[in-house]
Copies of this chain bind each other. A is one copy, B any other.
């Protein structure tokens, strides 16, 4: 999505440790109309997949999930909670997750009330890098018996391999911008 690549190049900052700081429009301050346009593009990519539910994860996936749901005319967005406790109730699906960004571990959890084998799910998140959070969300969907229509990220760090690993498993993965390499001076995008 050219408009997104332009926004990243104009507003983003590359920090040491392969961190792309885009918190001025995506994940601390949110450019709301732009977020709705990202949701519209994601909805276009998955419009004929029979999706009835968006699954995302707190906090930065929520706005994108809602933006997709509104554009796809899908009512519910379920966001996984990040729980630090190992003492989880039996009424949740849970998946252990490692955050490379924050260097910690958590359980991604979703209430069993809100995901079932009757659902056809699109998983959405702001970033796809090594794929840790995305794999946990896929695991939650599998536990529920729901059908996985695919996964969509706003920004994929292609050079970290998580997206291509999922594609190699036959999962339909789309990212609105894929970064093939980046340093303090230049961000290279994968051709669409």
Contacts and interface: CB of A to CB of B under 8 A. Distances in A.
A33 to B, nearest CB: 6
A137 B144 CA distance: 37
Contacts of A30: 62, 65-66, 69, 76-79
B114 A32 contact: no
User: For the complex formed by this chain, how many copies does it contain in all?
Assistant: 2
Contact of A32 (B23, B74, B110, B111): B74
Determine the main DSSP class of A at the interface with B: mixed
A70 interface: yes
Interface string A1-39: 000000000000000000000011000111111111000
Contacts of A23: 111
- Give the contact-size bracket for chain A: 20 to 34
A105 interface: no
A32 B62 contact: no
B63 A32 contact: no
A75 interface: yes
Contact of A66 (B54, B66, B113, B114): B66
22 contacts: A23-B111, A24-B113, A28-B81, A29-B76, A29-B114, A30-B65, A30-B69, A30-B78, A32-B66, A32-B69, A32-B70, A34-B75, A35-B66, A58-B58, A58-B59, A59-B79, A59-B81, A62-B62, A63-B63, A63-B66, A63-B77, A66-B67
